[in-house]
Amino acid sequence: MLGARIGLLIALAFSAPVMAQELTSEQIIEQLRSKPILRDARGVIVSPQKDVTPSVDVRVHFAYDSAELDADAIIGLRALGTALADPALADLKFQIVGHTDARGSDKYNQSLSERRAHAVLDHLLFYYDLDAPRFRSSGAGELELFDPTHPEDGINRRTEIKNVTAME
C-alpha cells in the first residue's frame, strides 16, 4: 500500500502516466485535473513541456488478437468510468489512446491499437453514460512504448486517457 502511494506521488510530481488499476476514482480525478509540474532531481520546479498533458495509463486486458473487452478489462475500467462520470471532470475533454507492444507489423499494431481504444471508449460511453462529444479515441500502435527497453513486454499494451481540454 505504501509503495502504491509513493508511486502515485512520484507520478503526480512528474506528470507521468499512472496505471489506473492502482488508483481509486478520486485519485484518477486528481491526476486528470492536475496541471503538469515537472521537478528535477533536486526538487526544483522546471518549466513543463508544451506537449505534457495530465494522463492516466490503463492496463486493459484483451484476448489475443482481439479488441473485445474481457471480464478483467471491464473490472479494470470501473474506477476510470466512475472518475470520468464525476462532475469534477464534466468540463474537460479527453482522448483515449490505444497502445500496443512491438510484436507484429506497424500497420497491424496501428489498426489494433485504434480498435482497442474505440472498444474502451464505447464501453465507457455506454456503461457510464458519458457525453460523447467530450471524448475521442485514437491509436498510437507501437510508437509510444511505455518501456522502450522491453518493446515486446506486456506493459506496453495499454490504453491512455489524456486530458486534451487545453489542446482544443
Half-sphere exposure for 49 (CA within 13 Å, toward CB): 7
Spatial distance between the Cα atoms of 36 and 49, rounded to a whole number of angstroms: 9
Strands 55-58 and 94-99: unpaired
Spatial distance between the Cα atoms of 36 and 29, rounded to a whole number of angstroms: 14
Predicted confidence at residue 35, as pLDDT, reads 63
Predicted confidence at residue 36, as pLDDT, reads 53
User: Which H or E run contains 33?
Assistant: helix 25-33
Predicted confidence at residue 14, as pLDDT, reads 32
Predicted confidence at residue 140, as pLDDT, reads 95
- What are the two backbone dihedrals, phi and then psi, of residue 4, each rounded to the nearest 5 degrees? -65, -40
Instruction: List the domain range (segments joined by +) for residue 125.
Output: 2-167
| Total domains, the chain | 1
- State the CATH number of the domain containing residue 51: 3.30.1330.60
User: Which H or E run contains 38?
Assistant: strand 38-39
Per the structure block, which three cell numbers stand in for 84? Answer: 470520468
Q: In what order do the strands lie in the sheet with 55-58?
A: 55-58, 158-163, 94-99, 135-141
Coil/strand/helix, residue 25: helix
Predicted confidence at residue 168, as pLDDT, reads 62
Average pLDDT per 10 consecutive residues for the chain, totaling 168 residues: 36 39 81 64 48 73 76 89 95 93 94 96 96 96 92 86 82
Predicted confidence at residue 52, as pLDDT, reads 61
Cβ contact 100:145 at 8 Å: no
Spatial distance between the Cα atoms of 115 and 137, rounded to a whole number of angstroms: 9
Predicted confidence at residue 66, as pLDDT, reads 77
Predicted structure pTM score: 0.74
